[in-house]
Structure 1
């Protein structure tokens, strides 16, 4: 029995991170993805004696994981971000309703993803796999029907053949190709292209992030506006309202943030979905800096183009961030 367990663990463990990334693409939730991976390994263990290496163990695991995700998606609404629900809010000082009952999209820590490029040496494939965990792409995937989503990810991100995907989904290669064509047409501009290979230089990204942090720490609204792109977006699940434009965002932060002045915003760096992120802490009535929201940034050569501030405080523990922080 011990030898069997060791053999199973030795063959399957190397795929845990990429299976988690796959389940996350399908389910848009770190918590649901971890449940699906747990189910995958439990089912794989129970079926290991009958596996008999009729396919690669990686393909076999992806079949189990994909079907676990499809079962999880039965009778379940899609996860969303506020930008996917309607147009931007036009009043930066408006009362912000909260919709905690909506199944919001969740970010995932980079530390759990491993290397999203896998073993690919093709630049376009590498870019596609890195792009495939970005928040914008995950949000776009949620607009697809579950089987379309599965086919698109398995074919375009993970490069399985139509025949392999057909075997995973108990269908035909013709049906897979039809699903893929419809998925590609629906997801449209969310797909990466060759232009995406020209990635932001680390020095330029560091400069923009330093300016963003400095503006937040100083509660410098003009400085924050200056580091945002002109058409930047700012959203804050579980609040459905979102804001478009650097000036509008600056006015919203000024009106809505409980910060009263410099030093009230404390940012602790982390990384999510292959993007820079920060845990934001705010002082309570005793001056203790407590978790407030988790911000995931999209950084372009011209500035920060998108901020998603997640107010689900459970995420701090998932990202290894403390409940309280001390200014340095």
Structure 2
């Protein structure tokens, strides 16, 4: 994306609003950037609630530093610089925002603070939507978390947003050589974390679900609502990777282990056998919101959201998230 969408008179209007201390006018000019800045913070932090907080922190900093914007750089660049540094300051203060080794030997690490991102909050700008899917999918977000914070910022600005090295260097107060070196190291880590995945993030990619994905979600929902463990199992790849967040120690890497765990925890037994589900999307990925009705309860209550990565008509990754008390998911609490 470029800054071409911001005409010179808008930049001038921003400067005028900053000088006049006109908060309403200032907000009117900056508010259109909120969604893309929040996505940027989410890529940095992998947590929707943290991203919301840091986006709000960004706008507070923008207002407090409004007089420092002289119009030499594009407004969008200036906003991203403030948002990036807000995220870096946040990460510097938190020691619980890095991946931790998985309890299952040989399975890498887990990102317990990962949260899904509701599609309704993605930017509406068509150009942003074109690149959004592969740089907002869970696998990408998790992989980015394995980068040190400043290296992470370089990678997102350069490879996810397509910024040239001098522009990224200016935003991070680094030299171009430092940015180039950090990007090279980041790309090595990303190749290790995403084996077999396309790594050309700036090449346009569709954000629409495929027919295969829609069919699998329908079959997944049907099996759940019919308490059909065999039908559910048939949808899974043998090397399924399953985890339930934010609970630690839930990662398994075979379909057999996943199903055994579901059954041993009571899936489809009394109390866990009256389901209604709705198809949805988060992170531009197919998902199913699962509603459970307890005995003697007249309503089905939102329980979890299952996010599916589907390969060749089979579920290769299933990430479950606790969906209770998450109004920002924009799902009905009951059915």
Tell me the TM-score normalized by structure 2: 0.82
- Rounded Cα–Cα distance in structure 1 between residues aligned with 2:290 and 2:182: 41
* Contact 2:209-2:286 within 8 A present in 1 as well: no
Q: Quick check: 1:159 aligned with 2:162?
A: yes
* Contact 2:285-2:308 within 8 A present in 1 as well: yes
- Rounded Cα–Cα distance in structure 2 between residues aligned with 1:80 and 1:284: 36
- Rounded Cα–Cα distance in structure 2 between residues aligned with 1:300 and 1:258: 25
1:236 Cα deviation (Å)?
A: 0.7
Q: Quick check: 1:179 aligned with 2:182?
A: yes
1:78 Cα deviation (Å)?
A: 5.2
Partner of 1:297: 308
- Rounded Cα–Cα distance in structure 1 between residues aligned with 2:190 and 2:25: 40
* Contact 1:200-1:301 within 8 A present in 2 as well: no
Q: Quick check: 1:32 aligned with 2:50?
A: yes
Structural RMSD (CA): 3.0
- Rounded Cα–Cα distance in structure 2 between residues aligned with 1:299 and 1:196: 20
1:152 Cα deviation (Å)?
A: 0.3
Partner of 1:95: none
Partner of 1:16: 34
Q: Quick check: 1:232 aligned with 2:240?
A: yes
- Rounded Cα–Cα distance in structure 1 between residues aligned with 2:260 and 2:99: 21
**Runs ≥4 in structure 1, deviation > 6 angstroms?**
198-201
- Rounded Cα–Cα distance in structure 1 between residues aligned with 2:63 and 2:325: 30
1:33 Cα deviation (Å)?
A: 0.5
1:199 Cα deviation (Å)?
A: 8.5
Alignment of 1:102-181 (within 5 A): 104-115=113-124, 118=127, 126-127=130-131, 129-181=132-184
1:175 Cα deviation (Å)?
A: 0.7
SS at match of 2:87: helix
Structure 1: which 5+ runs fail to align? Answer: 90-98, 121-125
- Rounded Cα–Cα distance in structure 1 between residues aligned with 2:313 and 2:99: 24
Structure 1 residues 302 and 216, CA gap change in structure 2 (3 angstroms)? same
- Rounded Cα–Cα distance in structure 2 between residues aligned with 1:111 and 1:228: 28
1:140 Cα deviation (Å)?
A: 0.9
1:319 Cα deviation (Å)?
A: 0.9
Structure 1 residues 221 and 79, CA gap change in structure 2 (3 angstroms)? farther
Structure 1 residues 57 and 50, CA gap change in structure 2 (3 angstroms)? same
User: Larger relative CO (CA 8 A, sep 6+): 1 or 2?
Assistant: 1
Residue 102 of structure 2, aligned match among 67, 70, 85: 85
* Contact 2:135-2:141 within 8 A present in 1 as well: yes
Range moving further from structure 2, 106-115 or 61-70: 106-115
Alignment of 1:167-246 (within 5 A): 167-189=170-192, 190=194, 192-193=198-199, 202-237=210-245, 238-246=247-255
Q: Quick check: 1:282 aligned with 2:285?
A: no
Tell me the TM-score normalized by structure 1: 0.83
Partner of 2:72: 54
- Rounded Cα–Cα distance in structure 2 between residues aligned with 1:185 and 1:260: 46
Range moving further from structure 2, 306-315 or 156-165: 306-315
* Contact 1:116-1:130 within 8 A present in 2 as well: no
SS at match of 2:27: helix
- Rounded Cα–Cα distance in structure 1 between residues aligned with 2:49 and 2:30: 21
* Contact 1:88-1:242 within 8 A present in 2 as well: no
1:170 Cα deviation (Å)?
A: 1.1
1:81 Cα deviation (Å)?
A: 7.5
